[in-house]
Every structure is written in C-alpha cells, then in structure tokens.
Amino acid sequence: MMLLKKLTFVLLITLAYTGIAQNNVDYSLYNYSLNLVNPAFAGQKNNTELLISSRKQWSGIPDAPKTSTFSLNIPLKGAVGLGLSVVNDKIFVFNQTVVALDFSYKLKMSRDHDLLFGIKAKGNMYSGSIDKIRTAQSNDALFSVPINKFNPNFSIGAAIVHEDYYTHLYIDNLLTDNRYELKRKSKNKNHYNVNIGGGYTLELNEILKLTPSVLVRFIEGAPLSFDVNTVLNIKEFYNVGMSYSWNNAIQLNSLISATKWFDIGYGYNLYLNDLSTYQNGTHEILLRFNVDEIL
C-alpha cells in the first residue's frame, strides 16, 4: 500500500510539473551566469565562457526532475555576442532536450550605461515513453504510443547594464504550439513566460561587495512568483549567497574562483511547501571555465 501511495504521488507531481514547469527550466545559480535566464547577456563578457551544470530536483523522490546544461558564450568583434546551449531535462518517463542559439548586441547609451538586446532561437525535442506507464486497464490505447515531437521557438530579451547595477526583461516561448496531443484528450503546450529582474552591487569595503537582486516571473497558467537574492563577494575570490523564492523555497549557494580559468559553484534548495515531507531538497553544481585563459 505504501509503495502504491508513493507511485501515485510521483505520477501526480509529474503531471503537474510537465504541464507547466518543465518547459521553463529552473536554475539555483543563475546569478552567476545571467545568460541562462536572458539571451541579452550571451557573449557580452570580455572572455569566452564555457558552463556546465547539473541539477537534481526533489532528491529522494523516484524519477524526480534532473537537468543537465551545457552553455558556450563567445564575444565577437564589435558589440556582438553569441551563445550556444544544450539543456536536457528528465522527469519520470518524459525527456526534453532544448538546443538554442543566442545572438546579442550592445548599444552604448552613455559613458557608463550599455543597452543589450538578445534573441534566442531554439528547438525543443520532447519525448515521453508513456507506453511504459502501468495502468489499471491493460492495453489502454491512450498510453500505447510513445510521444515524440519537435517544436521550434523563440525568445527575446533586453538589459540595461552599469558597472554597479543592472536591470533586464526576458520573454520566453513566443510560440505556444502544443507539445503533444493524445487522442485529443490531453494537451500540453509551451507556456510563454516573462522574467523581470535587476540587481545592485554595494562596495562595503576593499574586501567585501554585496549584491542584492530580485527576479519576478510570470508564467502563463501559473501564479506570479519572485526570487529575492543576495550575494556576498569576498576578495573577488569567494561568493556566498542566499535566496528566497516566494512561498516555495530557501536557497543557499556559493561560487569559488579556484583558478584564473575555473570557477565551481554549488546550490541547495530547502522547500517550504508540502513537498518538504517527501524529499530532501534540490542540489545543483556549476562548473564555469574561462576558455581564453586556458588557450
């Protein structure tokens, strides 16, 4: 009976998660690589950057979401930046891989302010082995055929950047085509979402810098949510941060500059909702490489 309850619970959260959240991948460590949440930042650093991250959500729950990310950001001559990313997201019997190309452009607004524009073109390859789901009725036609679908999509972003602060806007999934449809009984579409955020860096002394920031998310079909973050930088070497997601989770994170060309980060989410009873938090690891320093 306990096993049946667990399986039922996993199926319920799977259906809820794949309905909205899976096509909007979440990151705990986005403050350290803003290109993950807005293409306007792609390739706008002075160095070529390679990023690899792995996120295991709801640790302790069978078949809970797992996300792997590969991202490459390249500054070109002039004001142009390019980004390439591959994101794989798995949950239960569902698998989603998104391959994206980012293009960004920088305009000089004043001596101290830059205006960034970005566009993301991506392909979403979505599959679901629903034929592996056991149902009360054997040979249920609704679950007899695996799901395989490809959806192209676009996203746009903009940002205003100063040495001490930034603000940005990102609109994801401009196309909302259905990802799959089962005998016209079940639909799951790409939900558009809007992110608005910003941050300010305070120089406390010669050693310490404090950067509070906020990110507000609006996802079609979901309640408004926001994150309040703060990151303390110590000697440009060690970062430690804390975030609060409204009515959802507290997140602790850190990033260490191990060498001139390599940074390593870790994030842990402690959930405040009913899920806390069933799981042991979310873990995320980030590896960031300065390719120019390596070559």
Please state the rounded mean pLDDT for residues 251-258.
96
Phi first, then psi, for residue 15 (nearest 5°) are: -65, -40
Count of all residues that appear for the chain in the document: 295
- CA triple 266-91-97, angle to 5 deg: 80
Contact (CB, 8 A) for 149 and 180? yes
Q: How far apart are CA 57 and CA 91, in angstroms?
A: 10
- The pairing of beta strand 249-257 with beta strand 208-219: unpaired
Other CB atoms within a 10 A radius of the CB of residue 152 amount to 10
- pLDDT digits over 217-232, tens only? 998 878 888 999 999 9
Amino acid at 43: G
Could you tell me the pTM of the whole model? 0.82
Contact (CB, 8 A) for 260 and 33? no
**Whether pLDDT at 183 is above 80:** no
DSSP for 85-126, please give it.
EEEEEEETTEEEEEEEEEEEEEEE-SSS-EEEEEEEEEEEEE
**Which residue carries 């792995």 as its tokens?**
54
Phi first, then psi, for residue 175 (nearest 5°) are: -95, 135
Provide CATH code, domain 2-294: 2.40.160.40
- pLDDT digits over 125-180, tens only? 988 776 666 655 566 555 556 678 899 999 999 999 999 999 999 999 898 765 55
